[in-house]
Chains A and B, each alone.
Chain A
């Protein structure tokens, strides 16, 4: 009689050698040659594979991020805007789209992306966003520094 997964999991917990090895062999089932048949070789390769899998979970996210960036950059070039200014403009226009959605829109709905690029461009233009700065609003006006500082200045002990 062949026991399938559930009952095997229950018995895996024990210190029994057969089941301990079997757990490793299950993970090495798709390997070739002695890597799947000899325990001492299999366990080494399984360990290495698990390490790769752990690292790859992070790498996969980074790879996808760089791929989306390449795609969005390509789409931005078609509308004569850079990736940086697109993101800046969309952030200012309060359009919170991430890389994945932007790249999906760029390839599946190019007209939507064109509209987004136009929105970003127009927003930056109205903000006078030049060289990474707002040229029309000097910094400090928005911060209302005078309100913050006045009270502190009044409370300060004068000689």
Chain B
């Protein structure tokens, strides 16, 4: 059966994407998971994987085109299969399960970590003819096939949300203005990206609230204009709608959070072990003070520990690796992911310092500072976050003494850093380093040896210079 290739919804506010390039020529065969095309949304470029095996055919969108979310872009055909009669606007019969059809419409969640949300819309959402409508419509097509009142569509557009995410309570599941207001009232404040140790993910582009084009009412002969200016309909409610009756409590996760949840679940499926070592930071503190007193670049403890970890990984390359369950890839380069908290509880991102092993302490401090600034400004690209080989997460600034970081799969090791503190007045400064590793590919001894080496480097940090 032909698989439809459609513009995926890569962020909660995404209405359309710009096709940067096809990574596969028409007629070429791809396997499910191969990178099929690159999409540029407001600020972020992303690779989209093939939703199925097949030959790329019926390409109707060209590089540089803006494509509404959900619009048909091409088909993946089996050998010898003919193109569906797309001119009739009939999408293929949904003989596959609904979940599979969603997959076909979505990007591969594995790489983007921002999968298409499970649509809460009723079955009409995939009504015949919807594809044609989407392909034909240049705007608002993210809601094609979803029954909604014009007022609900306007409110959704103004709020930058997708009707797919809203449960319609009107006749036939129609989304009504009240449903949008209820959704907005219950929506979690978070709009942003991945959590601690989440896989590389896009930051969410700000909502582009297209103002509805005001068309003058058609004036019959000489209609009077003396009537008052139109009043807006009710603003979104700020609290839960009272008396929502038998509706179940709580709200579904927003797509980004759901992506994080899925990623965490995948991580939790990995047999992982965390071990903790307490490291004397007296010398490291002294070194840091000396550098910061004399150099232009300010060096943080995180920079010192990252530098030390990079040095230790050179000695223990087995921890600088990726494992997808079948193949273990020892990474030649140390691309170190650094968890960065976003402002206003918008989550965490894990941008990657490239080739951290080749950077001096000050270079690493500069690179990290740049990533942190851009993370907080929301200007990271997916490339900034893709392809890490090891991750470091520091909760020390919150006073956390030690913790149990989850693996950032498919990486095989993550280092958690606790607070740098003196356990008693006058005692030397120390820090808890918490190493989590994938016990499928690593055993306790080499991991512990890595941790021991790391501790030694930090205890005598001049070797890091």
Question: Do A and B interact?
Answer: no
Binding site for B on A (CB under 8 A): none
Binding site for A on B (CB under 8 A): none
